Amino acid sequence: MASALFMEFIDSTALSTALPSLSTAFGTDPVHLKLALTSYILALAVVAPASGWVADRFGPRRVFMVAMTVFLAGSVLCGFSRTLEQMVLFRTIQGVGGALMTPVGRLIVVNSAPRERLVSAMSWFTMPALVGPLVGPPLAGFILGVGSWPWIFFINVPVGVLGMLAVLRFVPPLYQPDPGPFDTKGFILAAIAITALMGAAETAGVGLVPLWVQLVLGGIAVAGLAAYIAYARRKERPVLNLRLVGFDTYRASLIGGTLVRVGLGATPFLLPLLFQIGMGWSPVQAGLVTIGTGAGAMACKPVAPAVLRRFGFRNTLIASNVATALLTALPAVFRASTPIPFIITALVVGGFMRSLQFTALNTVAYADIPQRSISNASTLAVVTQQMGMSLGISFGGLMLHVARGSDLGPMTPGSFVLPFLAVGLVSMLAGPLYQRLSPSAGASIGGRAAA
Protein backbone atom coordinates (compact mmCIF):
# COMPACT_ATOMS: atom_id res chain seq x y z
CA MET A 1 0.00 0.00 0.00
CA ALA A 2 2.78 2.41 0.90
CA SER A 3 4.24 2.15 -2.60
CA ALA A 4 1.51 4.50 -3.81
CA LEU A 5 2.30 7.07 -1.14
CA PHE A 6 5.98 6.81 -2.00
CA MET A 7 5.20 7.46 -5.66
CA GLU A 8 2.92 10.41 -4.89
CA PHE A 9 5.33 12.12 -2.53
CA ILE A 10 8.43 11.66 -4.65
CA ASP A 11 6.44 13.15 -7.53
CA SER A 12 5.16 16.19 -5.62
CA THR A 13 8.45 17.03 -3.89
CA ALA A 14 10.45 16.63 -7.09
CA LEU A 15 7.97 18.87 -8.92
CA SER A 16 8.28 21.54 -6.21
CA THR A 17 12.06 21.54 -6.65
CA ALA A 18 11.64 21.90 -10.41
CA LEU A 19 9.22 24.87 -10.29
CA PRO A 20 11.87 27.47 -11.23
CA SER A 21 12.94 25.34 -14.21
CA LEU A 22 9.32 24.87 -15.29
CA SER A 23 8.82 28.62 -15.01
CA THR A 24 11.57 29.12 -17.57
CA ALA A 25 10.36 26.29 -19.82
CA PHE A 26 6.75 27.53 -19.89
CA GLY A 27 7.58 31.24 -19.83
CA THR A 28 5.37 32.05 -16.84
CA ASP A 29 5.74 33.62 -13.40
CA PRO A 30 6.80 31.11 -10.73
CA VAL A 31 3.80 32.01 -8.53
CA HIS A 32 1.39 30.98 -11.30
CA LEU A 33 3.00 27.55 -11.39
CA LYS A 34 1.25 26.70 -8.15
CA LEU A 35 -1.57 25.72 -10.52
CA ALA A 36 0.49 22.64 -11.38
CA LEU A 37 0.44 21.68 -7.70
CA THR A 38 -3.12 22.65 -6.81
CA SER A 39 -4.75 21.13 -9.91
CA TYR A 40 -3.62 17.70 -8.70
CA ILE A 41 -4.91 18.33 -5.19
CA LEU A 42 -8.20 19.76 -6.49
CA ALA A 43 -8.88 16.64 -8.57
CA LEU A 44 -8.00 14.49 -5.59
CA ALA A 45 -10.30 16.41 -3.24
CA VAL A 46 -13.22 16.37 -5.68
CA VAL A 47 -13.04 12.67 -6.59
CA ALA A 48 -12.01 11.32 -3.17
CA PRO A 49 -15.56 11.51 -1.69
CA ALA A 50 -16.50 8.66 -4.00
CA SER A 51 -13.53 6.51 -3.01
CA GLY A 52 -15.12 4.84 0.03
CA TRP A 53 -18.22 3.77 -1.89
CA VAL A 54 -16.19 2.65 -4.93
CA ALA A 55 -13.87 0.56 -2.71
CA ASP A 56 -16.80 -1.07 -0.92
CA ARG A 57 -18.63 -1.73 -4.18
CA PHE A 58 -15.81 -3.13 -6.32
CA GLY A 59 -13.25 -4.28 -3.74
CA PRO A 60 -10.37 -2.25 -2.29
CA ARG A 61 -7.54 -4.13 -4.00
CA ARG A 62 -9.11 -3.93 -7.47
CA VAL A 63 -9.83 -0.20 -7.09
CA PHE A 64 -6.31 0.41 -5.81
CA MET A 65 -4.78 -1.23 -8.89
CA VAL A 66 -6.94 0.77 -11.30
CA ALA A 67 -6.06 3.96 -9.44
CA MET A 68 -2.33 3.29 -9.76
CA THR A 69 -2.77 2.70 -13.50
CA VAL A 70 -4.54 6.07 -13.94
CA PHE A 71 -1.85 7.81 -11.90
CA LEU A 72 0.92 6.36 -14.06
CA ALA A 73 -0.88 7.37 -17.25
CA GLY A 74 -1.18 10.92 -15.96
CA SER A 75 2.52 10.91 -15.05
CA VAL A 76 3.57 9.97 -18.58
CA LEU A 77 1.31 12.64 -20.08
CA CYS A 78 2.75 15.28 -17.71
CA GLY A 79 6.20 14.47 -19.06
CA PHE A 80 5.01 15.37 -22.55
CA SER A 81 3.45 18.70 -21.48
CA ARG A 82 4.63 21.76 -23.38
CA THR A 83 2.42 24.47 -21.85
CA LEU A 84 1.15 25.31 -18.38
CA GLU A 85 -2.40 24.48 -19.51
CA GLN A 86 -1.36 20.98 -20.61
CA MET A 87 0.49 20.44 -17.33
CA VAL A 88 -2.59 21.44 -15.33
CA LEU A 89 -4.80 19.09 -17.36
CA PHE A 90 -2.51 16.08 -17.01
CA ARG A 91 -1.85 16.77 -13.32
CA THR A 92 -5.63 16.64 -12.94
CA ILE A 93 -5.62 13.13 -14.44
CA GLN A 94 -2.93 12.18 -11.94
CA GLY A 95 -5.15 13.57 -9.20
CA VAL A 96 -8.05 11.34 -10.21
CA GLY A 97 -5.79 8.31 -9.69
CA GLY A 98 -4.46 9.69 -6.44
CA ALA A 99 -8.00 10.32 -5.22
CA LEU A 100 -8.54 6.58 -5.11
CA MET A 101 -5.01 5.45 -4.20
CA THR A 102 -4.61 7.35 -0.95
CA PRO A 103 -7.92 6.74 0.87
CA VAL A 104 -8.30 3.17 -0.39
CA GLY A 105 -4.74 2.34 0.66
CA ARG A 106 -5.41 3.72 4.13
CA LEU A 107 -8.72 1.84 4.27
CA ILE A 108 -6.93 -1.45 3.56
CA VAL A 109 -4.36 -0.81 6.29
CA VAL A 110 -6.90 0.30 8.92
CA ASN A 111 -9.18 -2.67 8.20
CA SER A 112 -6.28 -5.14 8.25
CA ALA A 113 -4.40 -4.02 11.37
CA PRO A 114 -5.49 -5.04 14.90
CA ARG A 115 -6.79 -2.02 16.82
CA GLU A 116 -4.14 -2.28 19.53
CA ARG A 117 -1.39 -2.17 16.86
CA LEU A 118 -2.90 0.59 14.73
CA VAL A 119 -0.30 3.20 15.79
CA SER A 120 2.54 0.93 14.71
CA ALA A 121 0.77 -0.04 11.48
CA MET A 122 0.08 3.57 10.48
CA SER A 123 3.64 4.54 11.36
CA TRP A 124 5.11 1.86 9.08
CA PHE A 125 2.47 2.54 6.42
CA THR A 126 3.55 6.18 6.12
CA MET A 127 7.31 5.61 6.41
CA PRO A 128 7.88 4.85 2.69
CA ALA A 129 5.89 7.98 1.94
CA LEU A 130 8.53 9.87 3.89
CA VAL A 131 11.29 8.39 1.77
CA GLY A 132 9.66 10.19 -1.18
CA PRO A 133 10.37 13.68 0.19
CA LEU A 134 13.82 12.43 1.16
CA VAL A 135 14.61 11.24 -2.36
CA GLY A 136 12.51 13.67 -4.40
CA PRO A 137 14.47 16.95 -4.06
CA PRO A 138 17.97 15.55 -4.73
CA LEU A 139 16.57 13.36 -7.50
CA ALA A 140 15.00 16.41 -9.13
CA GLY A 141 18.26 18.33 -8.74
CA PHE A 142 20.19 15.48 -10.35
CA ILE A 143 17.68 15.15 -13.21
CA LEU A 144 17.74 18.90 -13.86
CA GLY A 145 21.53 18.86 -13.72
CA VAL A 146 22.07 16.09 -16.28
CA GLY A 147 18.78 15.93 -18.19
CA SER A 148 15.44 17.70 -18.49
CA TRP A 149 12.38 18.11 -16.27
CA PRO A 150 10.08 15.53 -18.01
CA TRP A 151 12.09 12.73 -16.41
CA ILE A 152 10.74 13.85 -13.05
CA PHE A 153 7.44 12.32 -14.17
CA PHE A 154 8.79 9.40 -16.17
CA ILE A 155 10.58 8.06 -13.07
CA ASN A 156 7.15 7.19 -11.64
CA VAL A 157 6.69 4.38 -14.15
CA PRO A 158 9.18 1.82 -12.75
CA VAL A 159 8.21 2.74 -9.17
CA GLY A 160 4.51 2.29 -9.94
CA VAL A 161 4.95 -0.99 -11.79
CA LEU A 162 6.97 -2.47 -8.92
CA GLY A 163 4.29 -1.28 -6.49
CA MET A 164 1.52 -2.91 -8.52
CA LEU A 165 3.41 -6.21 -8.60
CA ALA A 166 3.85 -6.01 -4.82
CA VAL A 167 0.11 -5.38 -4.34
CA LEU A 168 -0.78 -8.39 -6.48
CA ARG A 169 1.64 -10.54 -4.49
CA PHE A 170 0.98 -9.48 -0.92
CA VAL A 171 -2.42 -7.76 -0.57
CA PRO A 172 -5.33 -10.19 -0.15
CA PRO A 173 -8.81 -9.38 -1.44
CA LEU A 174 -10.98 -7.69 1.19
CA TYR A 175 -14.73 -8.14 1.18
CA GLN A 176 -16.67 -5.08 2.27
CA PRO A 177 -20.36 -4.83 3.21
CA ASP A 178 -22.80 -3.69 0.52
CA PRO A 179 -22.49 0.14 0.42
CA GLY A 180 -25.98 0.60 -1.01
CA PRO A 181 -26.74 3.08 -3.81
CA PHE A 182 -24.23 5.82 -4.57
CA ASP A 183 -25.10 9.27 -3.23
CA THR A 184 -24.99 11.07 -6.57
CA LYS A 185 -26.69 14.26 -5.39
CA GLY A 186 -24.41 14.58 -2.39
CA PHE A 187 -21.34 13.95 -4.55
CA ILE A 188 -22.35 16.73 -6.98
CA LEU A 189 -23.04 19.22 -4.16
CA ALA A 190 -19.72 18.40 -2.49
CA ALA A 191 -17.84 18.67 -5.80
CA ILE A 192 -19.34 22.09 -6.51
CA ALA A 193 -18.49 23.39 -3.03
CA ILE A 194 -14.92 22.02 -3.07
CA THR A 195 -14.17 23.23 -6.62
CA ALA A 196 -15.52 26.72 -5.98
CA LEU A 197 -13.72 27.05 -2.64
CA MET A 198 -10.37 25.97 -4.00
CA GLY A 199 -10.86 28.02 -7.17
CA ALA A 200 -11.54 31.13 -5.08
CA ALA A 201 -8.50 30.44 -2.90
CA GLU A 202 -6.26 29.82 -5.91
CA THR A 203 -7.18 33.05 -7.71
CA ALA A 204 -7.53 35.38 -4.70
CA GLY A 205 -5.37 38.47 -4.97
CA VAL A 206 -2.97 37.30 -7.69
CA GLY A 207 -4.66 38.81 -10.74
CA LEU A 208 -5.41 35.57 -12.59
CA VAL A 209 -9.11 36.42 -12.99
CA PRO A 210 -11.22 39.58 -12.42
CA LEU A 211 -12.45 40.40 -8.93
CA TRP A 212 -16.08 39.65 -9.80
CA VAL A 213 -15.13 36.08 -10.79
CA GLN A 214 -13.42 35.61 -7.43
CA LEU A 215 -16.51 36.91 -5.62
CA VAL A 216 -18.80 34.61 -7.61
CA LEU A 217 -16.59 31.62 -6.81
CA GLY A 218 -16.63 32.54 -3.12
CA GLY A 219 -20.42 32.85 -3.15
CA ILE A 220 -20.83 29.50 -4.89
CA ALA A 221 -18.49 27.89 -2.35
CA VAL A 222 -20.47 29.20 0.63
CA ALA A 223 -23.82 28.31 -0.93
CA GLY A 224 -22.62 24.87 -2.00
CA LEU A 225 -21.24 24.09 1.43
CA ALA A 226 -24.44 25.20 3.16
CA ALA A 227 -26.53 23.16 0.73
CA TYR A 228 -24.42 20.06 1.30
CA ILE A 229 -24.54 20.37 5.09
CA ALA A 230 -28.33 20.69 5.00
CA TYR A 231 -28.59 17.74 2.62
CA ALA A 232 -26.16 15.50 4.56
CA ARG A 233 -28.05 16.01 7.82
CA ARG A 234 -31.13 14.45 6.22
CA LYS A 235 -29.34 11.70 4.31
CA GLU A 236 -28.78 8.37 6.07
CA ARG A 237 -25.59 7.50 4.16
CA PRO A 238 -24.16 10.68 2.60
CA VAL A 239 -21.03 10.56 0.46
CA LEU A 240 -19.21 12.64 3.11
CA ASN A 241 -20.56 11.71 6.52
CA LEU A 242 -20.28 14.93 8.56
CA ARG A 243 -21.83 13.25 11.60
CA LEU A 244 -18.42 11.72 12.30
CA VAL A 245 -17.22 15.19 13.34
CA GLY A 246 -19.24 14.58 16.52
CA PHE A 247 -16.43 12.34 17.82
CA ASP A 248 -13.96 14.55 19.73
CA THR A 249 -10.85 12.71 18.55
CA TYR A 250 -11.96 12.71 14.93
CA ARG A 251 -12.92 16.41 15.05
CA ALA A 252 -9.54 17.40 16.49
CA SER A 253 -7.76 15.39 13.83
CA LEU A 254 -9.91 16.73 11.01
CA ILE A 255 -9.98 20.45 11.79
CA GLY A 256 -6.64 20.73 13.58
CA GLY A 257 -4.93 18.67 10.91
CA THR A 258 -6.35 20.90 8.17
CA LEU A 259 -4.90 24.02 9.83
CA VAL A 260 -1.48 22.40 10.21
CA ARG A 261 -1.54 21.21 6.61
CA VAL A 262 -1.72 24.81 5.47
CA GLY A 263 1.90 25.01 6.57
CA LEU A 264 2.67 21.57 5.17
CA GLY A 265 1.27 22.57 1.79
CA ALA A 266 2.92 25.98 1.63
CA THR A 267 6.43 24.94 2.67
CA PRO A 268 7.35 22.70 -0.33
CA PHE A 269 6.07 25.48 -2.61
CA LEU A 270 7.92 28.33 -0.89
CA LEU A 271 11.26 26.73 0.03
CA PRO A 272 12.49 25.91 -3.53
CA LEU A 273 11.62 29.46 -4.63
CA LEU A 274 13.42 30.93 -1.62
CA PHE A 275 16.53 28.81 -2.16
CA GLN A 276 16.77 28.92 -5.95
CA ILE A 277 15.45 32.40 -6.77
CA GLY A 278 15.72 34.34 -3.52
CA MET A 279 19.14 32.99 -2.49
CA GLY A 280 20.53 32.00 -5.91
CA TRP A 281 21.16 28.32 -5.20
CA SER A 282 21.26 25.66 -7.92
CA PRO A 283 18.54 22.96 -8.05
CA VAL A 284 21.09 20.42 -6.79
CA GLN A 285 22.00 22.56 -3.77
CA ALA A 286 18.36 23.24 -2.96
CA GLY A 287 17.43 19.58 -3.35
CA LEU A 288 20.22 18.35 -1.08
CA VAL A 289 19.32 20.82 1.68
CA THR A 290 15.56 20.25 1.58
CA ILE A 291 15.97 16.52 2.14
CA GLY A 292 16.45 17.55 5.76
CA THR A 293 12.67 17.72 6.17
CA GLY A 294 12.23 14.18 4.88
CA ALA A 295 15.14 12.89 6.96
CA GLY A 296 13.65 14.32 10.14
CA ALA A 297 10.23 12.93 9.32
CA MET A 298 11.60 9.46 8.68
CA ALA A 299 13.65 9.53 11.88
CA CYS A 300 10.47 10.18 13.85
CA LYS A 301 8.53 7.15 12.67
CA PRO A 302 10.27 4.42 14.69
CA VAL A 303 9.98 6.42 17.91
CA ALA A 304 6.46 7.83 17.47
CA PRO A 305 4.61 4.85 19.02
CA ALA A 306 6.79 4.97 22.14
CA VAL A 307 6.30 8.73 22.50
CA LEU A 308 2.52 8.34 22.23
CA ARG A 309 2.49 5.55 24.81
CA ARG A 310 4.61 7.62 27.20
CA PHE A 311 2.91 11.01 26.89
CA GLY A 312 -0.48 10.27 25.32
CA PHE A 313 -2.06 11.75 22.21
CA ARG A 314 -3.22 15.01 23.82
CA ASN A 315 0.14 16.04 25.28
CA THR A 316 2.01 14.96 22.18
CA LEU A 317 -0.27 16.96 19.90
CA ILE A 318 -0.07 20.12 22.01
CA ALA A 319 3.73 20.09 22.28
CA SER A 320 4.38 19.07 18.67
CA ASN A 321 1.98 21.74 17.39
CA VAL A 322 3.85 24.57 19.10
CA ALA A 323 7.18 23.27 17.83
CA THR A 324 5.84 22.67 14.32
CA ALA A 325 4.34 26.15 14.03
CA LEU A 326 7.55 27.86 15.14
CA LEU A 327 9.73 25.74 12.84
CA THR A 328 7.34 26.32 9.92
CA ALA A 329 7.82 30.07 10.38
CA LEU A 330 11.60 29.84 10.90
CA PRO A 331 12.62 30.02 7.17
CA ALA A 332 11.49 33.65 7.34
CA VAL A 333 14.95 34.43 8.75
CA PHE A 334 16.92 32.44 6.14
CA ARG A 335 19.34 34.58 4.13
CA ALA A 336 22.23 33.85 1.77
CA SER A 337 24.54 34.41 4.76
CA THR A 338 22.69 31.95 7.02
CA PRO A 339 24.96 28.98 7.85
CA ILE A 340 23.87 25.92 5.91
CA PRO A 341 24.21 23.63 8.99
CA PHE A 342 21.67 25.85 10.77
CA ILE A 343 19.24 25.60 7.84
CA ILE A 344 19.61 21.82 7.63
CA THR A 345 19.15 21.43 11.40
CA ALA A 346 16.00 23.56 11.32
CA LEU A 347 14.54 21.48 8.48
CA VAL A 348 15.44 18.16 10.14
CA VAL A 349 13.89 19.12 13.48
CA GLY A 350 10.87 20.61 11.71
CA GLY A 351 10.35 17.41 9.74
CA PHE A 352 10.62 15.35 12.92
CA MET A 353 8.05 17.39 14.86
CA ARG A 354 5.66 17.61 11.91
CA SER A 355 5.86 13.85 11.40
CA LEU A 356 5.19 13.23 15.09
CA GLN A 357 2.13 15.44 14.94
CA PHE A 358 0.72 13.81 11.82
CA THR A 359 1.34 10.29 13.11
CA ALA A 360 -0.70 11.19 16.19
CA LEU A 361 -3.40 12.93 14.15
CA ASN A 362 -3.78 10.19 11.54
CA THR A 363 -4.09 7.53 14.24
CA VAL A 364 -6.22 9.20 16.93
CA ALA A 365 -8.77 10.04 14.25
CA TYR A 366 -9.93 6.39 14.28
CA ALA A 367 -9.81 5.85 18.06
CA ASP A 368 -13.57 6.16 18.57
CA ILE A 369 -14.89 5.50 15.05
CA PRO A 370 -17.07 2.36 14.77
CA GLN A 371 -15.69 -0.31 12.44
CA ARG A 372 -18.61 0.07 10.03
CA SER A 373 -17.79 3.80 9.58
CA ILE A 374 -14.04 3.53 8.97
CA SER A 375 -14.46 3.75 5.21
CA ASN A 376 -16.48 6.98 5.53
CA ALA A 377 -14.02 8.37 8.06
CA SER A 378 -11.06 7.65 5.79
CA THR A 379 -12.76 9.33 2.85
CA LEU A 380 -13.68 12.51 4.75
CA ALA A 381 -10.17 12.68 6.25
CA VAL A 382 -8.48 12.48 2.85
CA VAL A 383 -10.74 15.18 1.38
CA THR A 384 -10.08 17.66 4.19
CA GLN A 385 -6.36 16.85 4.25
CA GLN A 386 -6.00 17.58 0.56
CA MET A 387 -8.05 20.75 0.83
CA GLY A 388 -5.75 21.90 3.63
CA MET A 389 -2.69 21.19 1.47
CA SER A 390 -4.18 23.05 -1.49
CA LEU A 391 -5.26 26.00 0.63
CA GLY A 392 -1.73 26.09 2.02
CA ILE A 393 -0.20 26.38 -1.46
CA SER A 394 -2.73 29.07 -2.42
CA PHE A 395 -2.27 30.95 0.85
CA GLY A 396 1.52 30.81 0.60
CA GLY A 397 1.34 32.03 -3.00
CA LEU A 398 -1.01 34.86 -2.02
CA MET A 399 1.26 35.99 0.83
CA LEU A 400 4.26 35.91 -1.52
CA HIS A 401 2.31 37.95 -4.07
CA VAL A 402 1.40 40.51 -1.39
CA ALA A 403 5.00 40.70 -0.17
CA ARG A 404 6.30 41.37 -3.69
CA GLY A 405 3.84 44.22 -4.24
CA SER A 406 1.53 45.02 -7.13
CA ASP A 407 4.46 45.48 -9.51
CA LEU A 408 5.63 41.88 -8.85
CA GLY A 409 9.14 42.90 -7.93
CA PRO A 410 12.04 40.44 -7.81
CA MET A 411 11.95 37.61 -5.28
CA THR A 412 14.45 38.36 -2.54
CA PRO A 413 14.80 36.58 0.81
CA GLY A 414 12.87 39.48 2.34
CA SER A 415 9.90 38.60 0.11
CA PHE A 416 9.46 35.34 2.04
CA VAL A 417 9.23 36.80 5.55
CA LEU A 418 5.47 37.42 5.40
CA PRO A 419 4.58 34.05 3.77
CA PHE A 420 6.45 31.91 6.30
CA LEU A 421 5.26 33.89 9.33
CA ALA A 422 1.67 33.71 8.08
CA VAL A 423 1.62 29.94 7.51
CA GLY A 424 3.30 29.37 10.87
CA LEU A 425 0.58 31.41 12.59
CA VAL A 426 -2.19 29.45 10.86
CA SER A 427 -0.58 26.16 11.91
CA MET A 428 -0.56 27.29 15.55
CA LEU A 429 -4.35 27.80 15.49
CA ALA A 430 -4.76 24.02 15.83
CA GLY A 431 -3.45 24.12 19.41
CA PRO A 432 -6.74 25.05 21.16
CA LEU A 433 -8.48 22.10 19.48
CA TYR A 434 -5.90 19.69 20.87
CA GLN A 435 -6.20 21.17 24.36
CA ARG A 436 -9.89 20.23 24.45
CA LEU A 437 -9.11 16.52 24.05
CA SER A 438 -9.45 14.21 27.02
CA PRO A 439 -6.11 13.22 28.65
CA SER A 440 -7.05 9.59 27.89
CA ALA A 441 -7.87 10.22 24.22
CA GLY A 442 -6.64 7.32 22.08
CA ALA A 443 -5.77 5.09 25.04
CA SER A 444 -7.46 2.12 23.35
CA ILE A 445 -5.20 2.28 20.29
CA GLY A 446 -1.78 2.76 21.81
CA GLY A 447 -1.94 6.04 23.71
CA ARG A 448 -1.42 6.53 27.43
CA ALA A 449 -4.47 6.09 29.63
CA ALA A 450 -5.35 8.87 32.07
CA ALA A 451 -3.92 8.38 35.54
Q: What is the pLDDT of residues 24-34, one digit of tens each?
A: 888 877 767 77
Give 10-residue mean pLDDT values along the chain (451 residues): 75 74 78 76 82 83 90 91 87 88 78 70 66 66 77 84 86 73 89 86 69 85 91 85 88 90 82 87 80 79 84 91 94 93 93 88 83 78 81 85 76 91 93 89 64 44
Q: What is the pLDDT of residues 56-84, one digit of tens each?
A: 888 888 888 999 999 999 999 988 988 88
Give domain limits for the chain.
2-182+239-445, 183-238
One-letter-per-residue 3-state SS of the chain = CHHHHHHHHHHHHHHHHCHHHHHHHHCCCHHHHHHHHHHHHHHHHHHHHHHHHHHHHHCHHHHHHHHHHHHHHHHHHHHCCCCHHHHHHHHHHHHHHHHHHHHHHHHHHHHHCCHHHHHHHHHHHHHHHHHHHHHHHHHHHHHHHHCCCCHHHHCHHHHHHHHHHHHHHHCCCCCCCCCCCCCHHHHHHHHHHHHHHHHHHHHCCCCCCCHHHHHHHHHHHHHHHHHHHHHHHHCCCCCCCHHHHHCHHHHHHHHHHHHHHHHHHHHHHHHHHHHHHHCCCCHHHHHHHHHHHHHHHHHHCCCHHHHHHHHHHHHHHHHHHHHHHHHHHHHHHCCCCCCHHHHHHHHHHHHHHHHHHHHHHHHHCCCCCCHHHHHHHHHHHHHHHHHHHHHHHHHHHHHHHHHHCCCCCCCCHHHHHHHHHHHHHHHHCCHHHHHCCCCCCCHHHCCCCCC
Q: What is the pLDDT of residue 427?
A: 92
Q: What is the pLDDT of residue 131?
A: 62
CATH of domain 2-182+239-445: 1.20.1250.20
Q: What is the pLDDT of residue 133?
A: 59
* Dist CA 381 CA 103 (whole Å): 8
- Predicted TM-score (pTM) of the model is 0.75
Q: What is the pLDDT of residue 76?
A: 92
* Dist CA 348 CA 356 (whole Å): 12
* Dist CA 352 CA 399 (whole Å): 26
Q: What is the pLDDT of residue 417?
A: 94
